[in-house]
Structure 1
C-alpha cells in the first residue's frame, strides 16, 4: 500500500485515512484508487462492523490535490461514490481540522460525522470554478435542508465546528484530543448491535429517502421486516 494512504483495524472497526499531512491530506487519483480497493474489501469482510474515514496530523482533508485538477481528467471516476454511500457497512467520518472540497463531501457521504471543536467545513467548489462532487448535491440538501445547502455551496464559505453542529452537519462535537476515541466508541456501540439488523436498517433508511412516496417506503419497510424476522428465526433454529 502506498504510504500516502493508511488503513488499519481497531477492534471491529476499519479505519482509513489519507496520509499526507504536509499536503493537508489532499487526495490524488492513486489514493482514491486505494480507497476504492480497501473500502470494497472492508465492506465485504464480516469481521468489519463499521468503517471510519479520518485524516492524520490534525487535518481531515483539503480535498483534491491541485496538481490533479491541472492534469488530465480521467474518463471514469477513480472511486465509486454510490458504493461508498450505500455500502452495507455503516460509515463514520472522524473530522479533525479542516475539511475542504472533497474533504467536506467525503464527510457528508458518511452515515455519521464526529468532529473536533477545531474542525471546519468548506464546500468551496464555486471558489475554484467547479461544482459539488461526491454526491453532495444530493446529500447536503437532504441533511441540512435546501436553503442551508444553497448557502454553503453558492457562497463557498467556511463554517466552523460549532455552526456545523448547529446546522446538523455534525452529529457529535468533542475536544480534539477525544475525537478519535469518541468515534471509536460510537463505532463499537454500533458494532455491538445485530449486524443484519444494522445493515438492513441502513438500507431501509436509504430506501425511505429515495421512495416515491410514503406508501412505497412503508412497503419496503414491511418487506425488510419480514426478511429480518425470517433471519432471526433461522438463527434461533440453528
Structure 2
C-alpha cells in the first residue's frame, strides 16, 4: 500500500484506527491523501480481521475538508472529484461499523467525512460547517444525500446554503452527533465503544448496517424482503446458533467469528 505520514492506520484487537495526520493544516486532505484513503478503505474491506474502524484527526482538529490551498492541478476536475466521491462511497459502504471521533473543526468534506460514518462521537469543543458555498463551491463528499436524511431537508438547506458554523450542542440536537464527551474523556469512550462493537457478530453487524443504509431509499415491502434474505445468511453462520445457545443456557456471550456453517 502507498501509505504516507499524512494518513496513518493500525489494527489492534480488531479495531482499525485511521488518523488524518496533517495537524498543521487542520488535517485538510490533499490529492495524495485521497488516494491513500481509497487504498486503506479497500484493504479494510478485504480484511476479515478488522471488526470496527475509528476515523480521527491528529492534533486539535478532525478535518478542515479538502486542501484548497493545494488545489491547482493540470488534471481535469472530473476525475479528481470522482476519486473523492469514490472515497465517500467506500467509507459509507464499509461492511464494518465506523466511528468518527471528532475533536475540533469538521468542515466541508471533513464534516461529511464524519457523516458518512455510522456513529459520531464528538468532543465538547467540536464544531461543524458545510463551508462549500463560502469557497464558491457546491456541497460534495456525499453531503447532498447524507445531510437531508440526517437533519431533514429544511435544516440541510440552512446548513448548506448559509455555511454557518454550529457548535457540538446544536450538532447533537440536529442528529449530526451521536454522543458528546469532554476532550479528556473522548479517547476512553471511543475505545470502549469500539471494543463493544468488535465483540459482536460481524456478519449480523454488516448486514444490519447495510439494511439500514438501503432502507432509507426503498419501500417497506422491499425492506422486508431484504431482511428475510439477511436472516437466512445469519442462520448459516456459527454465530446465530451460538448466541441462541448462550441465551438458553444463561451463559456468557460467545466469541463471535462470522464463520459460514451451513447445516
User: After TM superposition, is the score higher than 0.5?
Assistant: yes
Q: Whole-Å Cα distance in 2 between the matches of residues 74 and 137 of structure 1? A: 18
Cα deviation, 1:130-180, whole Å, max 9, x if unaligned, reads: 011111100111111111111110110001011111111000100011212
Shift of 1:237: 7.2
Identify the residue that residue 12 of structure 1 maps to in structure 2.
14
Matching of residue 34 in structure 1 with residue 36 in structure 2: yes
**Which of 24, 43, 46 is residue 44 of structure 1 equivalent to?**
46
Q: Is the 8 A contact 2:41 2:90 kept in 1?
A: no
Identify the residue that residue 172 of structure 2 maps to in structure 1.
165
Q: For residues 58 and 235 of structure 1, do their structure 2 counterparts lie closer, same or farther at Cα, with a shift above 3 Å needed?
A: same
Identify the residue that residue 210 of structure 1 maps to in structure 2.
217
Q: Please list, as runs of the form range in 1=range in 2, the aligned pairs for 1:84-123 lying within 5 A after superposition.
A: 84-123=91-130
Identify the residue that residue 78 of structure 1 maps to in structure 2.
83
Cα deviation, 1:26-61, whole Å, max 9, x if unaligned, reads: 100101111111121122211110111100112101
Shift of 1:123: 0.5
**Which of 186, 192, 195 is residue 188 of structure 1 equivalent to?**
195
Larger Cα-atom Rg: 2
Q: Whole-Å Cα distance in 2 between the matches of residues 28 and 74 of structure 1? A: 16
Q: Is the 8 A contact 1:207 1:220 kept in 2?
A: no
Shift of 1:235: 5.8
Identify the residue that residue 58 of structure 2 maps to in structure 1.
56
Identify the residue that residue 228 of structure 1 maps to in structure 2.
234
Identify the residue that residue 245 of structure 2 maps to in structure 1.
none
Cα deviation, 1:87-130, whole Å, max 9, x if unaligned, reads: 11111110000011111010011111000000000011111110
Secondary structure of residue in 2 paired with 1:7? strand
Q: Whole-Å Cα distance in 1 between the matches of residues 43 and 261 of structure 2? A: 29
Shift of 1:199: 0.7
Q: Whole-Å Cα distance in 1 between the matches of residues 90 and 8 of structure 2? A: 20
Gaps of 5+ in 2: 242-258
Secondary structure of residue in 2 paired with 1:75? helix
Identify the residue that residue 138 of structure 1 maps to in structure 2.
145
Shift of 1:226: 1.9
Q: For residues 63 and 237 of structure 1, do their structure 2 counterparts lie closer, same or farther at Cα, with a shift above 3 Å needed?
A: closer
Cα deviation, 1:215-237, whole Å, max 9, x if unaligned, reads: 11111111111221233468677
